[in-house]
């Protein structure tokens, strides 16, 4: 069953790759628009495994990867650290919700990209701008999903907790968070996905390293193969981060393991 699922998941990528191969081989799409898969494979291998002297991008991957991952994790952590507690409070305390919901929904209506110019003025070009954008974008799905999860918990569970001797404060950890866990995880996963999108946006502004920076750099030098390599790597890493996040949550929380 598991093997069949994996095969099924790989079906579409395999079909795309085949079509891509055919259109490149036959010249239907010229290679200056979309490089041949073989070229991509070669450039990718050089980018990841090469040593610096071998070409302009050879061997830079590890540095870029670490830089980007650090920015994503930092921004994502900030978003989670703000989004989860605020979501819980808004979901359970009507007063808090009334206080913050207008503001937060107003901010949410602003497309994330609008913050870019402002962030560049505030933080200059570099890691801070990127982290700010990532945190800003990841905050909303985390906040909103946590809020929904917290709000949906029936009063009966808190009553059951109270009668079983759980104090109001402890019930946040003993009842509220486990009950809201499926929603919290959904929010975190959405937030993680959007983090990678905004990472690239933040890195397009001229930071020296990072996966987004490489893509931008390659565009200026006309290295379309590196652009495609960058895109593929981000897709792959984004997917892996999502799986890792899910796995880590299930490992750390009983409720995550049993309710999702």
Question: Which residues sit at the interface with other proteins, rule CB under 8 A?
Answer: 155-157, 159-160, 162-166, 175, 178-179, 181, 254-255, 258-259
3-state secondary structure of 8: helix
Q: Decide if 260 contacts 185 (C-beta within 8 A).
A: yes
Q: Decide if 187 contacts 256 (C-beta within 8 A).
A: no
Shortest distance (Å) from residue 151 CB to other proteins: 17
Of residues 32 and 169, the one with the C-beta less far from other proteins: 169
Shortest distance (Å) from residue 149 CB to other proteins: 13
Sign (positive/negative) of CA torsion 99, 172, 153, 165? negative
Specify the length of the chain in residues.
260
Of residues 166 and 204, the one with the C-beta less far from other proteins: 166
Instruction: List phi, psi (to 5°) of 234.
Output: -65, -40
Of residues 170 and 239, the one with the C-beta less far from other proteins: 170
Shortest distance (Å) from residue 160 CB to other proteins: 5
Between CA 135 and CA 139, with CA 136 as vertex, the angle to 5 degrees is 75
DSSP one-letter code for 1: -
Q: Which of 115, 107, 48, 52 is nearest to 83 (CA)?
A: 107
Of residues 98 and 258, the one with the C-beta less far from other proteins: 258
Of residues 123 and 253, the one with the C-beta less far from other proteins: 253
Residue with tokens 């560049």: 120
Shortest distance (Å) from residue 256 CB to other proteins: 8
Shortest distance (Å) from residue 152 CB to other proteins: 13
């Amino acid at each position: 069953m598991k093997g069949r699922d994996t095969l099924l998941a790989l079906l579409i990528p395999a079909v795309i790759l085949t079509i891509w191969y055919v259109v490149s081989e036959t010249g239907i799409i010229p290679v200056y628009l979309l490089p041949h898969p073989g070229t991509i494979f070669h450039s990718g291998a050089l980018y990841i495994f090469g040593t610096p002297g071998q070409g302009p991008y050879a061997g830079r991957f590890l540095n870029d990867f670490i830089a980007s991952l650090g920015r994503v994790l930092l921004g994502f952590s900030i978003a989670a650290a703000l989004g989860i507690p605020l979501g819980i409070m808004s979901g359970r305390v009507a007063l808090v919700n009334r206080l913050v919901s207008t503001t937060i929904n107003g901010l949410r209506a602003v497309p994330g990209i609008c913050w870019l110019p402002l962030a560049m003025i505030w933080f200059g070009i570099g890691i801070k701008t990127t982290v700010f954008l990532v945190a800003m974008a990841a905050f909303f799905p985390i906040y909103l999903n946590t809020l929904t999860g917290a709000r949906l918990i029936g009063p009966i569970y808190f009553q059951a907790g109270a009668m079983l001797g759980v104090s109001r404060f402890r019930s946040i950890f003993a009842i509220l968070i486990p009950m809201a866990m499926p929603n919290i995880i959904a929010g975190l996963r959405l937030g993680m996905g959007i983090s990678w999108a905004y990472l690239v946006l933040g890195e397009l502004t001229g930071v020296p390293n990072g996966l987004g920076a490489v893509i931008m750099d390659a565009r200026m030098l006309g290295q379309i193969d590196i652009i495609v390599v960058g895109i593929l790597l981000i897709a792959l890493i984004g997917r892996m981060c999502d799986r890792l996040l899910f796995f880590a949550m299930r490992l750390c929380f009983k409720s995550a393991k049993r309710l999702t």
